[in-house]
Amino acid sequence: MITRTQLSRLGLFDAKVPRYTSYPTAPHFSDSVSAQDFTSWIEAIPANGTVSLYLHVPFCRRLCWFCACRTQGTTTLSPVAGYVETLMAELELLKAHLPRGVKLSRLHWGGGTPTLLTPDMMRALLDKVREVADFAENAEFSVEIDPNEIDGERLDVLAAGGMNRASIGVQDFNAQIQETIGRPQSFEITRNAVEMIRARGVASLNADILFGLPHQTRERITETVQKLLSFAPDRVALYGYAHVPWMAKRQQMIPSDALPSPEDRLALFETARRLFAWDGYAEIGIDHFAAPDDGLAIAQKTGKLRRNFQGYTDDTSEVLIGLGASSISRFPQGYAQNVSSTSAYQGAVRDGGFATARGHAFRGDDRLRARMIEMLMCDFHTRNDELVRSYGAEHEALAAIYAKVNDAFDGLLRVSGEGLFIPQDARPLTRLVARAFDSYDTAKAKHSSAI
């Protein structure tokens, strides 16, 4: 049994460790990838292939203090209208370069708050997406929905456009916590949103909640999880609240002395995790839960769970194209990211080109390391047979690396001829173990710089 002291000494509680939605992670991108690379990577997609498409809407009507997402507040629709026009122009550019015949396996609208678009804007955007590519069979169209920012008319448009997965932000139901994090949202508002979504036959409901919030206690998170379970969500994301007031200035409104200690954070996560497990949810990777018949649970059982910028996915497409300011795309060749500022993004597209500003072209053993990290984040173990077969790794070299990593983690991991395995009680260390395979992270803690 791993003790709290051991977890603490190994760096769990003080580590600013990446969530590894990509490898290398975005801070290691550089300006070496240009709009020209982005264009040629799009043109290289096989015509019979599928892609995932992400559209980013970086606007919100309210700016919640806790939120670390890149988004800007607006009380008027004119900046949103201008932005949607730019997105449509970017989609038009994509259409010009995407090989005919490519289909969409996933369409995701995220933000910010995509549901602050007017119904007309939503319709126009959906029509434009359909001009770019048809949906593949079993495609998924998901939208991030702020329950405070949705109504029947918008949901009608989204449902008619094929939305079959809705993702709502809940965070916590407790009123004192909501007030402290600047995110008022009554239970009735959330319930009403859920009922409206379900009434439109949307097949799948996802909800985001947070652990580690100010004034959060085990009793309070228990109540939040129980209330959430009363909606029988298909998926739940249980993210650890990231308090980064030096980056997300709004978080300065949140008193740091109201935050739970690192040890209490772990207890909050464990409390919520057990409640989901008792209710029959499958544990997906480090921070998701899914009903047993949900695609994520099935993908996990069959070893097909993947990780991308939206978190965990059962999408099998090799290519994810992100449009909109700051969006990141992934290709077999590497990553490309759009310029972050909304005005620079709009300027670039208005000038007739893509808005790629940075990225990373895979080189050396990037793909091998990316896959090892993805395996650890998804399945808590690596699979040597695949690493050898598909990424040119050698059994002896893998064994030597695992031995070093396990040493650095006090032998808490398990190593066999099949791979490196993180046992259940060491799972809170998963991101740290993944970081041991990250050759770009120079800020690695001493113990995890094994390779």
List interacting residues with ligand SF4 (CB under 6 A): 60, 62-64, 67, 69, 71, 111-113, 146, 169
Q: Which does 432 bind (CB under 5 to 8 A by kind): ligand SAM, ligand SF4, none?
A: none
Q: Which does 241 bind (CB under 5 to 8 A by kind): ligand SAM, ligand SF4, none?
A: ligand SAM
In the complex, the smallest distance separating the C-beta of residue 9 from ligand SAM, rounded to whole angstroms, is 25
Closest C-alpha to 236, from 148, 316, 311: 311
Judged by CB under 6 A, does residue 214 bind ligand SAM?
no
The two three-digit tokens of residue 110, written as one number: 């995220």
Question: Rounded to the nearest 5°, which phi and psi values hold at 45?
Answer: -70, 130
Q: Which of 12, 93, 210, 325 binds ligand SAM (CB under 6 A)?
A: 210
In the complex, the smallest distance separating the C-beta of residue 221 from ligand SAM, rounded to whole angstroms, is 14
Q: Which of 13, 135, 239, 391 binds ligand SAM (CB under 6 A)?
A: 239
Closest C-alpha to 114, from 196, 153, 59, 54: 59
Q: Which does 421 bind (CB under 5 to 8 A by kind): ligand SF4, ligand SAM, none?
A: none
Q: Which of 140, 146, 172, 234 binds ligand SAM (CB under 6 A)?
A: 146
Residue placing its CB nearer to ligand SF4 in the complex, 197 or 429: 197
In the complex, the smallest distance separating the C-beta of residue 427 from ligand SF4, rounded to whole angstroms, is 27
Q: Per-residue b/e over 166-180, b at no fewer than 16 CB within 10 Å?
A: bbbbbbbbbeebbeb
CB 321 within 8 A of CB 309: no
CB 233 within 8 A of CB 207: yes
Judged by CB under 6 A, does residue 68 bind ligand SAM?
yes
Instruction: Report 7-66 residues binding ligand SAM (CB under 6 A).
Output: 66
Q: Which does 63 bind (CB under 5 to 8 A by kind): ligand SAM, ligand SF4, none?
A: ligand SF4
In the complex, the smallest distance separating the C-beta of residue 116 from ligand SF4, rounded to whole angstroms, is 9
In the complex, the smallest distance separating the C-beta of residue 169 from ligand SF4, rounded to whole angstroms, is 5
Q: Which of 53, 55, 67, 387 binds ligand SAM (CB under 6 A)?
A: 67
Q: Which does 140 bind (CB under 5 to 8 A by kind): ligand SAM, ligand SF4, none?
A: none
Q: Which does 242 bind (CB under 5 to 8 A by kind): ligand SAM, ligand SF4, none?
A: ligand SAM
Q: Which of 24, 169, 260, 311 binds ligand SAM (CB under 6 A)?
A: 169
Residue placing its CB nearer to ligand SF4 in the complex, 64 or 129: 64
In the complex, the smallest distance separating the C-beta of residue 66 from ligand SF4, rounded to whole angstroms, is 7
The stretch among 26-34, 40-48, 235-243, 360-368 that binds ligand SAM (CB under 6 A) is: 235-243
The two three-digit tokens of residue 417, written as one number: 């001829």
In the complex, the smallest distance separating the C-beta of residue 214 from ligand SAM, rounded to whole angstroms, is 12
The two three-digit tokens of residue 155, written as one number: 């949901």
Gap between the Cα atoms of 320 and 196, Å rounded: 30
Gap between the Cα atoms of 50 and 403, Å rounded: 39
Handedness of CA 21, 22, 23, 24 (dihedral sign): negative
In the complex, the smallest distance separating the C-beta of residue 353 from ligand SF4, rounded to whole angstroms, is 28
Residue placing its CB nearer to ligand SAM in the complex, 143 or 429: 143
In the complex, the smallest distance separating the C-beta of residue 184 from ligand SF4, rounded to whole angstroms, is 11
The two three-digit tokens of residue 320, written as one number: 């994810």
Instruction: Report 101-130 residues binding ligand SAM (CB under 6 A).
Output: 111, 113
Judged by CB under 6 A, does residue 242 bind ligand SAM?
yes
The residues that touch ligand SAM, with contacts defined as CB under 6 A, are: 66-69, 111, 113, 144, 146, 169, 171, 208, 210, 239, 241-242
